[in-house]
Amino acid sequence: MATNPEIDRQQFSDMSAWLETPLGQALLGAEHGLLEQMLNRRFGYHLLQLSCADVSIHDDSPIGHKFCLRPVAEAGKGGLVARPEAIPLASESVDMVLLHHVLDYSSHPHQLLREADRVLIAGGNLLIVGFNPFSTWGIRHKFSRRKQKSPWSTANLLSSMRLSDWLKLLDFKVEQVHYGLYSMPINSPRFIRYSSFMGKLAQRLNWPTGGIYVISARKQALPMTPIREPWKAISNPVRGLTLGDKAGVTPSQPHNKTLH
């Protein structure tokens, strides 16, 4: 089903503006805190970020070539423009893909994940940042969806468990799932500071009730070394005969078996 590019443009613009609010800044701060260590420990040559807004969250990565793909063109801003569900890159061409809430706003999340899988090299890293439906932020999303007055209204929140299952079907190994942002989703700087203090214990314990999660997964590579079948054991060899002459039976020859 085709989507309306004007809806995508408005959605992208609305989320970019919302991230400038105190609540949006608290969200970005929590995401940077979760991503910092994950990005610092992963190396490569090329990093691709797909986001639901005009924001960069990959600055902590040591990867030299970092770039973003925009779903819509904006006046005065360059960069690659294409739909996330149809990434215009060669297969196995990037070392890391960072999905920043783009699955929350995608009409075709399965296809988006397949595209991320396609452009990643074998052994490449996939980081997914998403809103947690099992949190106070998830509850707020339900009320916002009814009112249809905020960027939250068009989001389709996916749980970390559901995404982990999808990733396993694509032969990804889920390495880490971290939760964060335990503050109440109220757009007040004073209330954000207070509720953030109350959530410090939950942050240390990685309780799965944070407003966001970050999933770290690695694309598994097929073994390139041929797998040989072991020699079959031969019981009670006949005295005076070689191992291959037992009872006139020729042992099966080993052969190479390569996974494709």
Query: What pLDDT score was predicted for residue 201?
Result: 79
Domain total for the chain? 1
Give the pLDDT score at 76: 55
Q: Which pLDDT does position 35 carry in this prediction?
A: 94
pLDDT, one tens digit for every residue, the chain (260 residues): 445 555 577 888 889 999 999 999 999 999 999 999 899 888 999 999 999 999 999 988 999 999 998 887 765 565 678 888 999 999 999 999 999 999 999 989 999 999 999 999 999 999 999 999 999 899 888 877 666 566 766 788 999 999 999 999 999 999 999 999 998 888 888 777 777 666 777 888 898 999 999 999 999 976 555 444 554 444 554 444 444 444 444 444 444 444 34
The answer to whether 137 touches 131, Cβ cutoff 8 Å, is yes
Rg of the chain on CA atoms, in Å: 25
In-domain check, residue 98: yes
**What local confidence, expressed as pLDDT, does residue 259 receive?**
37
In angstroms, what CA-CA distances link 257 with 220, 223, 224, 226, 230?
19, 11, 11, 6, 12
The answer to whether residue 37 sits within a structural domain is yes
Does residue 133 fall inside a structural domain? yes
Question: What does pTM read for this prediction?
Answer: 0.80
The token pair that represents 108 in the structure block: 């075709």
Please spell the DSSP secondary structure of 179-225, one letter per residue. EE--S---S-HHHHHHHHHHTHHHHHHT-TTSSEEEEEEEEPPPP-S
Within a domain: 243: no
In a domain, 72, yes or no: yes
Looking at residue 239, its pLDDT comes to 47
Q: In this predicted model, what pLDDT tens digit does every residue of 168-213 receive, in sequence order?
A: 999 999 999 999 999 888 888 877 777 766 677 788 889 899 999 9
Residue 193 counted as domain residue = yes
Which residues span the domain enclosing 39? Answer: 5-219
* Domain contains 245: no
CATH number where 206 lies: 3.40.50.150
Domain assignment present for 204? yes
Predicted confidence at residue 71, as pLDDT, reads: 80
Residue closest to 104 by CA, chosen among 181, 218, 212: 212
Q: Which of 36, 220, 8, 208 is nearest to 102 (CA)?
A: 8
